Structure 1
Amino acid sequence: MRQIIYRSVTTADSRRAADDIPAILGEAAPRNGVDGITGLLYTEQDHFLQAIEGPEESMRDLVDRLASDGRHRDMRILVDRAVDEREFGDWAMIHRDRRESVDSFDDRMRVLLAGVSRQVADYFRALAPA
């Protein structure tokens, strides 16, 4: 099993970026489920941080699709490693709506990151709003 963490920047206008996320997930979730890919997509304003994991061949195909996806740019792979077992059993997306308090958002992040390796959690915590 392979795990990749990458970050990128949306190409959408920052006001529209939040509206694009449900469409992105609507396209990705069914295919990722069939391909055995799970992970966590974190968005903050115009930045994406995503951890994905799954079988080697599925991951190779997904990374190729992500690299050519025009909805984001400046894709930078931070971690690419073999893992013995999944750290993310379910596909999830977390995004802080302007109406949500920082404390509430932090609570949701804490739940989603429970049980993942410290290295993975640190990447997500580094982008969380102060």
Structure 2
Amino acid sequence: MEQIAAAFARQTRLYRHFNHFFDDFDVLIAPATSVAAFPHAQWYPTQVEGREMPTYMTWLAITYGVTMMEACACCLPCGLGADGLPFGLQIIGPRGSDRKVLEVALALEEVIAGDSALAIPRPDLARLATATPIKG
């Protein structure tokens, strides 16, 4: 019980600290994940910036941390990186700010759609229909 109580107390401190950010800012915009997209055959990144990622969940801290803070978030695709793989952004707001988060996401989506370097690529459905399925 002591450990559970300590964990809840720590989460409460983190929650309050996180939400102070929104005293000065409407939303937080952050990468959708802590690494760029990686090949489908790779289960998860084993390192991020030289740090070992011992489990699948470790590299996802940038996303599950937002959930632990009871924040509102929307993920927005933002085109392809230099390697041809997709990347995206999270638009994050405090608890209860769903409307504001979605309004900001829509505004960003409209700006991104007008920029050919950032526009969400349209899949080539004809090519996908004839592609060889990935095995594994």
TM-score, scaled to structure 2: 0.27
The structure with higher relative contact order (CA 8 Å, sep 6+) is 1
